[in-house]
């Protein structure tokens, strides 16, 4: 038995609501970028969420889904743009006032 509001119940349907990252997600997935949620958009988003273990996988373009896509974009960009020594840059974090 599935309780209403559980992850399984949410994953069974596809969201018809556009998420706050709808345009970015559409672009990432190679979908037409219009900022509106179509059934094809929802299916593509849901497939991405399922493949990458994002739950609930309801096809909603929310912050977790866009966060995973953004990390993938950043990793891809860093991999193709090494520093002068041919290595990936390492972020050292903010400098303390005493060390500057």
Task: Identify the domain containing residue 47 by its residue range.
Answer: 16-75
Of the candidate ranges 3-7, 26-30, 75-79, the one whose mean pLDDT is the lowest: 3-7
pLDDT of residue 93: 59
Asked, for residue 26, whether it belongs to a domain, the answer is: yes
Asked, for residue 63, whether it belongs to a domain, the answer is: yes
pLDDT of residue 13: 80
Asked, for residue 45, whether it belongs to a domain, the answer is: yes
DSSP string, 65-100: HHHHHHHHHHHHHHHHS--TTSS------PPPGGG-
Asked, for residue 85, whether it belongs to a domain, the answer is: no
pLDDT of residue 10: 43
Asked, for residue 93, whether it belongs to a domain, the answer is: no
Domain count across the chain: 1
pLDDT of residue 14: 84
Asked, for residue 95, whether it belongs to a domain, the answer is: no
- When pLDDT is averaged across residues 22-35 and rounded to a whole number, the result is 96
Tell me the C-alpha to C-alpha distance, in Å, between residue 66 and each of 7, 18, 54, 90, 91: 19, 13, 11, 23, 22
Asked, for residue 29, whether it belongs to a domain, the answer is: yes
Confidence band, pLDDT 50/70/90 cuts, at residue 9: very low
């Amino acid at each position: 038995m599935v309780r209403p509001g559980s992850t399984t119940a949410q994953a069974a349907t596809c969201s018809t609501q556009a998420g706050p990252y709808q345009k970015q997600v559409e672009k990432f997935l190679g979908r037409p970028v219009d900022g509106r949620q179509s059934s094809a958009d929802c299916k593509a988003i849901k497939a991405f969420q399922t493949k990458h273990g994002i739950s609930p996988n309801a096809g909603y373009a929310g912050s977790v889904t866009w966060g995973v896509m953004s990390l993938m974009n950043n990793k891809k960009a860093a991999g193709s743009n090494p520093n002068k020594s041919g290595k990936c840059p390492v972020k050292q974090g903010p400098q303390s006032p005493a060390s500057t």
